[in-house]
Chains A and B, each alone.
Chain A
Amino acid sequence: MDPREMTGAQALIKSLEMQRVEVMFGLPGGAILPVYDPIIDSSIRHILVRHEQGAGHMAQGYAQVTGRPGVAIVTSGPGATNIVTPLADAYMDSTPLVVITGQVATSSIGSDAFQESDTTGITMGITKHNWLVTDANDIPRVVAEAFHVATTGRPGPVLIDMPKDIAQASMEWYWPEPSDLDLPGYHPVTRGDPELVREAAEMMLAAERPVIYAGGGILKARASEGLRELSERTGIPVVTTLMARGCFPDSHPLCLGMPGMHGNYTAVTAMQRSDLLIALGSRFDDRVTGRVDAFAPEAKVIHVDIDPAEHHKVRRADVAIVGDCRLVIDELLMALDSLGLPHSDATRVGSGGTPSDAAPGAPAVPGSSAASFPRDRVDLWRAKLGEWQIRFPLVYAQTDAPGELKPQFVLETLRDATPDDTIVASGVGQHQMFASQWWKFDYPNTWINSGGLGTMGFAVPASIGAKVGRPDKMVWAVDGDGCFQMTAQELVTASSERIPVKIALLNNAYLGMVRQWQEMFYEERYSEVYLSPDLPDYVGWAESMGCIGIRVESPEEVGPAIDKANSIDDRPVVIDFRTDASEKVYPMVAAGASNDEIIVDPSLMRGDN
């Protein structure tokens, strides 16, 4: 037999191997059965999940920490619909995923056959592109196209729908050359227009209150180093959005932290008062801008994004540059060179200092010939920011009172007890905001969360995928009790596959974020938000899933429990932290309000700090 002759299923698995896929997450069923057979003989590790949503989020976690596309494989009908949420999530957060779904045989499509669903139709609006394969000979080309589309330009999820008869049909193996890809309408622009780049560089030097508004695109483009150089050389401070935490070190004196609805006062207000926003791979999400017509009213906008459709979508940009953040930042740095900006003097921004102590009395740039560069003007701005940082820090007060274990205290203790490059995956809710606020992210791709879609249940499977992608790193999930109940079954996957993730469950017995809104905006009328602290019994549940379960009720138990968890490396650990339900996330900008109406922690207004 001709060794090149094989089934569509074999060609599919071989194509994935050609793409150097090392792991895929999935669960079999009727329509995808033929594809599961060659998996037995493949070099690709398959991780059997307990629910297809888990497969999708694991692939996301894997993709976010490795920068490589995550691969998931599921059957038709319910398998496909179960993975719709991760697709939508990955689409919102521009995560590269390749999802393979089984489909009923081509002759049955459209007949309401058993486990038939219009998968390409359902996922059309939540994938970057999808393919229904109708000829086994197309398989290698379609797989190559799928990986190309998922990983280039603005990354995103793609889906390949594979009818059963196509997987069973025979084909003659080939592997396409890049020129064989049939994508006449797909040509992402990666380099910035030099004239616009120069204009942007001039604006950066002329600004008095500039802010770099760094988004997830920095991480996607692996532009962290360039961003750091840009910020240090210009002295321009950086806010890192929820999707960009870690792309610029939190410990850096020019880092202002997270802006947005639960961003810190300085980050939010810096943007509000700014005269120049340099948006790099960020998209003016409503959670960042608050009321759009009141957002950063005095700011000119430079907007760099690889997706031209993001330009002027929410906020008109004065200079809109289409391109990859890493390449455009390099171009900006060169343009700044040619405008005479001196190279950075490490003393000004050396680590350890804070903007406030670096700013007011800081010396002028030594030997600077760049008269055009207003270092001292930016220094004034940074002095202002330093004042705000001192006046409006993030605060909480841990007491000794029983039942008042503060989630922030747990997170600070966890942060200090884990390596600096620990990967943190989070669910959605108060715990997510606390984690983003209180963790110190000093490394790119160490923070994994569901930003755009806000998918409860993301943390457990995403942390598993992250640990699979980076087994060398410690991986913690910070989860809420509500979220945990949505996808906890994947800890069975983690136990049986020996993937030692650790879960910090901030168990406040409530759908806490919703409770907070009901408290603040619905006159404390709590509607359907109470969950119970001990139903389920989280420790018992964790142990039944093959994990170590630990319960923590008081502050002095926090440290030892974390130390114990950190010492376990052969199975997952769940710590059930019984936290104070009354704790609210501050600061807060109410939905639809202007960022000027930021509500800080009441204790700051009373002046008890």
Chain B
Amino acid sequence: MSAYGIDKRHHTLTVLVENKPGVLARVAGLFARRGYNIFSLAVAPSDDARFSRITIVVDVESAPLDQIVKQLDKLIPVVSITELAPSAARERELLLVTVEVSPETRGQVIQLVGVFEGKIIDVGHDRLTVMLAGSPTKVDDFEDLIRSYGIVELQRTGRVALPMLERSDDRSNLSAKVLGFANHTEKAG
């Protein structure tokens, strides 16, 4: 069973947060104390230096998505939250793996990397380091196949995602749902 396959349990939240010390601890702490499961988490600066973007894949079986989103939104440094259902997201993940190779298997591994459109980024006497970016399922599949050659070390980044774009023939509801409550926002005062 793939750990990362498209399934209904895992929703992606793209959370724009203030770029201040301790914000990740606040987000992670909220998940821990309310018993929400994080499936994967990626943090990166955004295009605006004041904000960072945290991409969290949450397990909606641990708590209703609505609760997770609203509790997150209560954190003061959380600016906005975009929720992507599995079917509405373009998700990508990066994998780096160092794999053992012998004279016999080297060619097979290189071929496999070629089929998956990965890249060999380092070469040793009996090892190769491979980089692969792709959808979580593709990365899962590659990981499964490469495993038999002997994995020395492997790292995955966790997912990042953007909403699927609308197409002319499909203007349905695939676009992202923004839950910043910003649509009817009003400063208290």
- Report A's interface with B, CB cutoff 8 A: 120-121, 124-125, 128-129, 132, 149, 152-153, 178, 183-191, 193, 307-309, 311-313, 322, 324
Give chain B residues whose Cβ lies under 8 Å from the Cβ of A185. 17-18, 75-80
Q: Say how far A96's CB is from chain B's closest CB, in angstroms.
A: 13
Question: Which of B26, B71, B186 meets A187, CB within 8 Å?
Answer: B186
Q: Give the interface segment out of B154-162, B165-173, B177-185.
A: B177-185
A124 touches B77 (CB 8 A): no
Nearest-neighbor residue (CB-CB) of A181 within chain B: B187
> A120–B26 Cα gap in the complex (Å)?
10
Give chain B residues whose Cβ lies under 8 Å from the Cβ of A132. 21-22
Give chain A residues whose Cβ lies under 8 Å from the Cβ of B22. 120, 132
- Pairs across A and B, CB under 8 Å, 12 listed: A132-B21, A149-B76, A178-B189, A183-B76, A185-B78, A189-B181, A189-B186, A308-B70, A308-B73, A309-B74, A312-B64, A312-B66
**Residue of B76, B77, B182, B184 most packed against chain A (CB within 10 A):** B76
A191 touches B186 (CB 8 A): yes
> A190–B78 Cα gap in the complex (Å)?
19
Q: Name 15 extra pairs, CB < 8 A, besides A178-B189, A190-B186, A190-B188.
A: A152-B188, A153-B188, A184-B79, A185-B17, A185-B78, A185-B79, A188-B186, A188-B188, A189-B184, A307-B74, A308-B73, A308-B181, A309-B71, A309-B73, A312-B66
Q: Say how far A172's CB is from chain B's closest CB, in angstroms.
A: 23
> A472–B80 Cα gap in the complex (Å)?
46
Q: Say how far B45's CB is from chain A's closest CB, in angstroms.
A: 16
Nearest-neighbor residue (CB-CB) of A153 within chain B: B188
Q: Say how far B96's CB is from chain A's closest CB, in angstroms.
A: 31
Assuming A312-B64, A312-B66, A312-B67, is B18 touching A184 (CB within 8 A)?
A: yes
B70 touches A128 (CB 8 A): no
Q: Say how far B81's CB is from chain A's closest CB, in angstroms.
A: 10
Q: B60-96 vs A: 1/0 string, CB under 8 Å?
A: 0000101100110111111110000000000000000
Q: Say how far B135's CB is from chain A's closest CB, in angstroms.
A: 31
A187 touches B185 (CB 8 A): yes
Nearest-neighbor residue (CB-CB) of A185 within chain B: B79
| Residues of chain B in range 24-66 having any CB-CB distance to chain A below 8 Å | 25-26, 29-30, 33, 50-51, 64, 66
Q: Say how far B43's CB is from chain A's closest CB, in angstroms.
A: 16
> A535–B35 Cα gap in the complex (Å)?
43
Question: Which of B25, B67, B80, B189 meets A309, CB within 8 Å?
Answer: B67
> A132–B21 Cα gap in the complex (Å)?
9
Assuming A125-B33, A309-B70, is B17 touching A187 (CB within 8 A)?
A: no
Give chain B residues whose Cβ lies under 8 Å from the Cβ of A125. 29-30, 33
Q: Say how far B185's CB is from chain A's closest CB, in angstroms.
A: 4
A124 touches B25 (CB 8 A): yes
Tally the A-B contacts, defined by beta carbons under 8 Å. Answer: 65
Q: Say how far B48's CB is from chain A's closest CB, in angstroms.
A: 10
> A1–B121 Cα gap in the complex (Å)?
62
> A308–B50 Cα gap in the complex (Å)?
26
Question: Which of B17, B51, B70, B76 meets A186, CB within 8 Å?
Answer: B76
Nearest-neighbor residue (CB-CB) of B67 within chain A: A313
Total interface residues on B, CB under 8 Å, equals 32
Give chain A residues whose Cβ lies under 8 Å from the Cβ of B74. 307, 309
- Report B's interface with A, CB cutoff 8 A: 17-18, 21-22, 25-26, 29-30, 33, 50-51, 64, 66-67, 70-71, 73-80, 181-182, 184-189
B181 touches A322 (CB 8 A): yes
> A488–B79 Cα gap in the complex (Å)?
44
Give chain A residues whose Cβ lies under 8 Å from the Cβ of B64. 312
> A187–B182 Cα gap in the complex (Å)?
8
Q: Say how far A348's CB is from chain B's closest CB, in angstroms.
A: 36
Q: Say how far A18's CB is from chain B's closest CB, in angstroms.
A: 17
B181 touches A129 (CB 8 A): no
Give chain A residues whose Cβ lies under 8 Å from the Cβ of B77. 185
A121 touches B25 (CB 8 A): yes
> A189–B185 Cα gap in the complex (Å)?
6
Q: Say how far B78's CB is from chain A's closest CB, in angstroms.
A: 5
Closest 6 CB pairs of A and B: A309-B70, A152-B188, A185-B79, A129-B76, A187-B185, A188-B188
> A153–B181 Cα gap in the complex (Å)?
13
Q: Say how far A402's CB is from chain B's closest CB, in angstroms.
A: 51
A152 touches B186 (CB 8 A): no
Give chain B residues whose Cβ lies under 8 Å from the Cβ of A120. 22
> A308–B183 Cα gap in the complex (Å)?
14
> A322–B183 Cα gap in the complex (Å)?
13
Give chain A residues whose Cβ lies under 8 Å from the Cβ of B73. 308-309
Q: Say how far B87's CB is from chain A's closest CB, in angstroms.
A: 23
Nearest-neighbor residue (CB-CB) of A152 within chain B: B188
> A236–B29 Cα gap in the complex (Å)?
42
Give chain B residues whose Cβ lies under 8 Å from the Cβ of A189. 181, 184-186
Q: Say how far A311's CB is from chain B's closest CB, in angstroms.
A: 8
Nearest-neighbor residue (CB-CB) of B16 within chain A: A185
Nearest-neighbor residue (CB-CB) of A154 within chain B: B74
Q: Say how far A381's CB is from chain B's closest CB, in angstroms.
A: 32
Give chain B residues whose Cβ lies under 8 Å from the Cβ of A309. 67, 70-71, 73-74
> A577–B21 Cα gap in the complex (Å)?
53
B25 touches A193 (CB 8 A): no
Q: Say how far B100's CB is from chain A's closest CB, in angstroms.
A: 41
